[in-house]
Structure 1
């Protein structure tokens, strides 16, 4: 037995040491990647002249040569420290003379060995786009919306054709667009800051009540924030309270605030994100002179005729409508989903649903609305790719998304982002429900 142990031990030690070496090599190129993109001790970053993929760039009649696949440490050291090229000639004065230690030089060299292969889904002729979708009517609608957008650039962007991959592995795609969140995990990708996977236009799963936006630095949402959506529900109720008998809202006159009794019903009493939201809604109701009575849902009879803001799932919707007589109920079209179309027509007629984006038609079903939102997400990607230029990398794409201002998508509206503000649009539509015909009708936009 001991003899067998001493025979196996060298193999185990070799495997262990090989694993350490692999991890160390990966850490080295990742450190080198950070230097390439951000510079070293305040000195100029290589990416500025040589490109995100090390291809080299031409500007003002000068061309910075490609760096990818140049593993010769001696030549790299002479170029960085002495400004001498591999042919022995002095490099252009615009090439900085760096002060860099041997360990950092090795890290940079390790990155130059892999640059150009460290960004999945990107080649000279193809750009792969990932989307996480279920196999249902919403998944099909989102896929159709993205394909409709990509048809606008059938010949590609800077010669790269856009290829849509449904539910791909994380190492297959360059960017993620219009994935349906909840129930499915979005594509996860661990990378350095310079190589983060951009996530554009994630869409909420219909029929699921969610009160948290969970922002991330590389996520660019097309829809208004949850807080903005809930605030719009109160505003829409106030507009209806000030409407005349014909249903048209009067002009906004200073001091003309609603005096209205509202009941706020919610059925997720232990949700911290919901409680943070409720605090803001109470303040808004106070400013609007709205009397806001709150209740966690139970099947007790409400005061008949009161308007209700319902922040909850579809499970209790029928009972909420039945308990309030002839009053209107305002809710999220996303949280309620298709359950509103399964109501008796008389109940559905008292429902007002807020869709947090614009659609291309005044009459539609919910999958069509999702297709429109996916189309808008695809058009945002295309615009950001055009602005990023041919020398494309994930860092360039993220930068261009952060700088996107007032970009208009036909049938959807204006979209814009700022650093730290990644909710691209700030409007939506108030819908009436036609359960008899299975459609929604736009009452007003906001």
Structure 2
């Protein structure tokens, strides 16, 4: 459907067929991002990756992030760190289980994912000087807010919602924090082998610093482009990576566990699979993940009903184009409603609203963006480059929490009573935190 949002012509895409036309057939026309004011804290003058305009710089940064930060070998390299953080969380939940306490799974998942991402990107989980986690959350909240200035630009001057002020403050605090952490990394690698040194050795900032000011290795058509990775871009990319990785993964873990608690049958099936493949004498290891086929079905089904970015990140048309006889003019904003596609009875039959992982058993529908019925990570040029990293982390966290513990809803609450309402934003977390009571179930 076509909407006029202020002065911006917008197209909402809500079917697999239409999504394929925009994200595959005409992918090049819709390969750029609109300039959204709220996205700015995560992209100093739009220098990050997610919101960068389409062109040589974006191509370079995407290649750099894909090879140096998000490749299979890098994901593998961070395995010990994930093992350590997940292990610490299991111990924490074990203490709660021994004391028969209620656990806030939304908090536990959020904290765990943040720790993994922060350690991976910055080489540390906590920093008492600045509340980086809080700032990132605030920034993401501001990006998700409806900003009138994005649609009626001249109103921006008046800043009726006070958003511009908040964004400026948030952005400055974020960049100052990252600047300090980058400076510390530079000093640490300045030759002195201090205690902390080996921790910083392979985090994202360290890897990025080694690429600083190297000329870009660009496609032929971009050769005249004299860009190199500078410090401002480095900070924007670091913020992008943190923001993109924490919120999305945490929300996916939260919804998966919610659906498992709401559907005890599915939870039992998953525990059977874990029992058969991992056994009751040890915890899950990442090498087990490829064998956990039922877990894959569960995650696909969770992503179908609860896509983490329900409208993906908007795209913008770079030229006038005609699609299916409709004329779409340059600078139109495109929103792909993957939430609606995932719940469409025409696509998913009558039980579209039901959580039923088995629907994927004989299906070759994949989440990598080749099948337009299921697009949690988008598709085409602007598809999510961090999918492998995110999926590895999410699967490992869910498998471990479900293998080590049985979970019950608190206070004799029945699964039907579980509130599954969503909170609106760029990503869609639960309105109410997910609370449950764990019981340790392994033999050792």
TM-score range, shorter chain: under 0.3
* Higher Cα Rg, which structure: 1
Larger RCO (alpha carbons 8 Å, 6+ apart): 2
TM-score (structure 1 length as normaliser): 0.25
